[in-house]
Structure 1
Amino acid sequence: MRWVTYDAGEGVRTGILDGECVRGLAAGTSLAGLLRSGSLDEAGADAVRAPTEVRPRSEVRLLAPLPRPPSVRDGLCFLDHLRGCYRALGREETLDPVWDRTPAFYFANADGIVGPYDDVPVSPGSTMFDLELEVAAVVGRGGRDLHPERAEAHIAGYTFYNDWTARDHQLRDMAQGIGMGKSKDSAITLGPALVTADELESRRRDGRLDVEVTATVNGTELTRGSLAAMDWSFGELLAFVSRGTDLTPGAVIGSGTVPGGCLLEHVDTADIAAFAGWLQPGDVVELGAEALGGTRQTVRPAPAMLPLRTGF
């Protein structure tokens, strides 16, 4: 099933996409609540058999399937993405062996979630604004210290994850050395739907999902790749993330960027600040996949940045 959160002008509702219509559940029902109660399958059957309302998709506004998830973590499971970033920054592309020992992740901003068709303003003060093509797993059944061979059974489904990034702010974050800060803080796109894990099971190949995804900017394809190329599987990522801590239903965990799926990897100048390809107001960014649907968002000007001190 393809679960959506939507607004048809009468408040936020939850339902499933069925072709070109949305089959909605009763007001007050939320995808987060269904995940917490473990009743997603039962509610899906209700939406098919006896929906509270049925609306044409064209008449509703699709929001992020989980507008405020309990937590968001972003992994780095495609090591060729990291190599591409290092190359753009003029760094040695040979990775430290630590990258082969455990997957990496950071905590992202659950308050920064935006919908699949929402406009996205440039981060305040940024002149190097970027997209990142990712897919997120959403936890359905909670757990702790998960086994890597069984962890994927805890995934309710998958959705697109666009990790909008201010690269100039990221350089400062990296220099400060305590993790991602304002570079990753302004927006994370989820959507258009939470596609349940069973819908993608036929695409499983050697422990990975062979799901082809694309990113385009102003109609020009930036990259095309598959989740089958992940160096760390979702099962391994969830097992690592859950070590010594609880994963709760509704938690969002990003795959990391599909190789070539950000502008940084396409920088063609030694001075990355002079790169002409950074996102500008009016640019249209789309993520797409047959299996997941598509997002389409327009970049808008940054709000004014209030200085902390003179010159900063």
Structure 2
Amino acid sequence: MRIARWADGENSGEGFVVGDRVVAFPDGLTVAQVLTRGLDAAHDLYSRVAAHSGTALADVRLLAPVVPASIRDFVAFEEHVEGVSASVDGKSEVVPEWYQAPTFYFTNPHTVLGPGDTVSPPQTQRLDFELEIAAVVGGVAGSDGANLTADAAASHIFGYTIMNDWSARDVQSREMKVRLGPAKGKDFGTSLGPWIVTADELAPFLDAEGFLAIRAEVYVNDELIGHDLVSNMGWPFGELVAYASRNARVLPGDVLGSGTVGNGGCLGELWGRAGELTPPPLREGDVVRMRVEGLGELVGTVGAIVPAPPLPPARERSRARHR
């Protein structure tokens, strides 16, 4: 099943993509509510409406398929870490700590973009994309989503979508020298779409260890920049969800990005390997197209830089302990 959100003129809808049409959920349900009910309930809903005429897919504008409760973004591809580290600090390496646990950061759920949307970057000279696959969490009866085993966590994956973690690399590099972040180098835009493909649809692509053996590609202005197999991750998605749930909870609507695929899944990796800005950073008007086997295609366009109000640098205070 494919699950989407869309706009049709002044109206909006949420439901299934059935062939070349969209069909609204019964009873006015939303994607958030369907995720909470879980995958089995979604199949029941699909059987109720799949034969309905709906609206032609070509006549609607797809939105981001989920309004995320939260977005965690991992860094699960060794090849990406090896390449991009050189562009950040001049040294290509994968630190031993990377292998110990699947590290992630939280990004902004309030700046999510949908298929075809234009990203408005901050002041940057090194705008980049990141080709990722994201797991979308659904509800599981009797589970609170806390401290899950890897097997239990895999059952919480409702489906998958394509994710583009837009990145201002120069801003990101400055922030991470303070040993915190990334923050403003990332949180201005994350694209998701075109829809959620339910986990059962991708089950045939799982290898013996539970990795998704699907091909992912990214193009800039129709030029192929990078491609990889998603099964080159260091951990399968179930283990990412399990780690996220440690001493915490994962809830329906949570989005967990894989991190950037290797072999040119972002420009930063290629800059690190080449020792120069080749291919060049993204600029206004560039079109980034991501295509993932079994998931479809996600397109985003680079818009104009949006200047923000200036802030002064930190004041060097006296560190006095008394007035």
TM > 0.5 fold call: yes
SS where residue 195 of structure 1 aligns?
strand
Aligned to 1:77: 76
Change (3 A) 1:94 1:270: closer
- Cα distance between partner residues in 2 of 1:198 and 1:112: 29
SS where residue 150 of structure 2 aligns?
coil
Task: State whether structure 2 residue 109 is matched by structure 1 residue 110.
Answer: yes
Q: Which amino acid aligns with 1:150?
A: A
Task: State whether structure 2 residue 267 is matched by structure 1 residue 263.
Answer: yes
Aligned to 1:195: 197
Aligned to 2:87: 88
1:125-147 per-residue CA deviation (whole Å, 9 max, x = no partner) reads 11211000000000012511111
- Cα distance between partner residues in 1 of 2:28 and 2:172: 39
Task: State whether structure 2 residue 125 is matched by structure 1 residue 127.
Answer: yes
Kept in 1, the 8 Å contact 2:68–2:253? The answer is: yes
Aligned to 1:169: 171
Alignment of 1:54-65 (within 5 A): 54-65=54-65
Q: Which amino acid aligns with 1:24?
A: A
SS where residue 218 of structure 2 aligns?
strand
- Identical columns (%): 37
Aligned to 2:8: 8
Aligned to 2:296: 293
Q: Which amino acid aligns with 1:261?
A: G
Change (3 A) 1:208 1:276: closer
- Cα distance between partner residues in 1 of 2:248 and 2:115: 30
Task: State whether structure 2 residue 142 is matched by structure 1 residue 139.
Answer: no
SS where residue 294 of structure 1 aligns?
strand
SS where residue 252 of structure 1 aligns?
strand
SS where residue 264 of structure 1 aligns?
helix
Aligned to 1:239: 242
- Cα distance between partner residues in 2 of 1:77 and 1:84: 13
Higher Cα radius of gyration:
2
- Cα distance between partner residues in 1 of 2:274 and 2:159: 40
Task: State whether structure 2 residue 31 is matched by structure 1 residue 31.
Answer: yes
Aligned to 1:148: 150
Deviation of 1:304 after TM superposition, in Å, equals: 2.4
Change (3 A) 1:150 1:162: same
Task: State whether structure 2 residue 20 is matched by structure 1 residue 20.
Answer: yes
1:30-82 per-residue CA deviation (whole Å, 9 max, x = no partner) reads 10111123332222222314x4x61111100000001x211110011111100
Q: Which amino acid aligns with 2:134?
A: A
Aligned to 1:281: 284
Change (3 A) 1:110 1:6: same
Deviation of 1:21 after TM superposition, in Å, equals: 1.3
Kept in 1, the 8 Å contact 2:73–2:106? The answer is: yes
**TM-score, length basis structure 2:** 0.89
Task: State whether structure 2 residue 222 is matched by structure 1 residue 223.
Answer: no
Deviation of 1:232 after TM superposition, in Å, equals: 1.3
Aligned to 2:309: 306
In structure 2, runs of 5+ residues without a counterpart are 314-323
- Cα distance between partner residues in 1 of 2:183 and 2:5: 28
Deviation of 1:307 after TM superposition, in Å, equals: 0.9
Change (3 A) 1:265 1:36: same
Kept in 1, the 8 Å contact 2:81–2:93? The answer is: no
Kept in 2, the 8 Å contact 1:268–1:275? The answer is: no
1:105-138 per-residue CA deviation (whole Å, 9 max, x = no partner) reads 001101011101111122x211211000000000
Q: Which amino acid aligns with 1:308?
A: L
Deviation of 1:17 after TM superposition, in Å, equals: 1.3
Kept in 2, the 8 Å contact 1:13–1:26? The answer is: no
Kept in 1, the 8 Å contact 2:83–2:273? The answer is: no
Q: Which amino acid aligns with 1:267?
A: W
**TM-score, length basis structure 1:** 0.92
Q: Which amino acid aligns with 2:232?
A: A
SS where residue 156 of structure 1 aligns?
strand
Deviation of 1:219 after TM superposition, in Å, equals: 0.4
Change (3 A) 1:279 1:27: farther
Q: Which amino acid aligns with 1:120?
A: V
In structure 1, runs of 5+ residues without a counterpart are none
Deviation of 1:295 after TM superposition, in Å, equals: 1.1
